[in-house]
């Protein structure tokens, strides 16, 4: 199992923080069986956000996205587990909440794409890049959860 274990970067956006959804979102990842290995509550700098969304810099919504993400605090997290990136994306739902299924975070908790409350890495490569951008290596905690053997065969 260890070879298939991966880490993903998840960020609760300012709208999710302001609406008091941090606990609900963390609860969903914990209940799924993923292990939280890093967490920060911060006001992200414009420089950090521009770097995070660098792949979108040529899109017309880029300036507004960077401004919005800097409009309030965010919760940056790293979750670890089997297929954490793919499963995390499924848990989030579609980027546009209107296209998200009930039971997903966006399907249950938000309405508009511009206020879709959460970001999740879309690939293992992106996850590694985002984790390294938001966290120092020493901020990632490695441990074996006592529930590990009850989650994995």
Catalytic residue among 14, 74, 119, 127: 119
Domain 7-43+73-138 class, CATH top level: alpha beta
The CA distance from 114 to 116, in Å, is 6
Residue-wise pLDDT for 106-120, tens only, equals: 999 999 999 999 999
- The H or E element containing residue 42 is strand 35-42
Residue-wise pLDDT for 3-28, tens only, equals: 578 999 999 999 999 999 999 999 99
Residue-wise pLDDT for 83-139, tens only, equals: 999 999 999 999 999 999 999 999 999 999 999 999 999 999 999 999 999 999 999
Asked whether the CA dihedral 53, 67, 90, 29 is positive or negative, the reply is positive
Q: What's the pLDDT score for residue 4?
A: 76
Decide if 119 is catalytic: yes
Task: Pick the closest to residue 143 from 32, 39, 27, 36 (CA basis).
Answer: 36
Q: What's the pLDDT score for residue 7?
A: 98
Binding-site residue numbers are 13, 61, 89, 95, 106, 116
Binding-site residue numbers for ATP are 13, 61, 89, 95, 106, 116
- What pTM value is reported for the model? 0.95
Residue-wise pLDDT for 28-73, tens only, equals: 999 999 999 999 999 999 999 999 999 999 999 999 999 999 999 9
The CA distance from 95 to 35, in Å, is 24
Q: By CB neighbour count within 10 A (0-12 exposed, 13-18 middle, 19+ buried), where does 121 fall?
A: buried
């Amino acid at each position: 199992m260890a070879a298939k274990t991966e880490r993903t970067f998840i960020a609760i956006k300012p709208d999710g923080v302001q609406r008091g959804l941090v606990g609900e979102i963390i609860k969903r990842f914990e209940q799924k069986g993923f292990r939280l290995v890093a967490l920060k509550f911060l006001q992200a700098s414009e420089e950090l956000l521009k770097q995070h969304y660098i792949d979108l810099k040529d899109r017309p919504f880029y300036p507004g996205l960077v401004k919005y993400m800097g409009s309030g605090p965010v919760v940056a997290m790293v979750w670890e587990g089997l297929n954490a990136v793919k499963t995390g994306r499924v848990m989030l739902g579609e980027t546009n909440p209107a296209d998200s299924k009930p039971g997903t975070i966006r399907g249950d908790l938000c309405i508009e794409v511009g206020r879709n409350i959460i970001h999740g890495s879309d690939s293992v490569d992106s996850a590694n890049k985002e984790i390294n951008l938001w966290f120092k290596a020493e901020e990632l905690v490695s441990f074996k959860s006592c529930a590990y053997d009850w989650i994995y065969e």
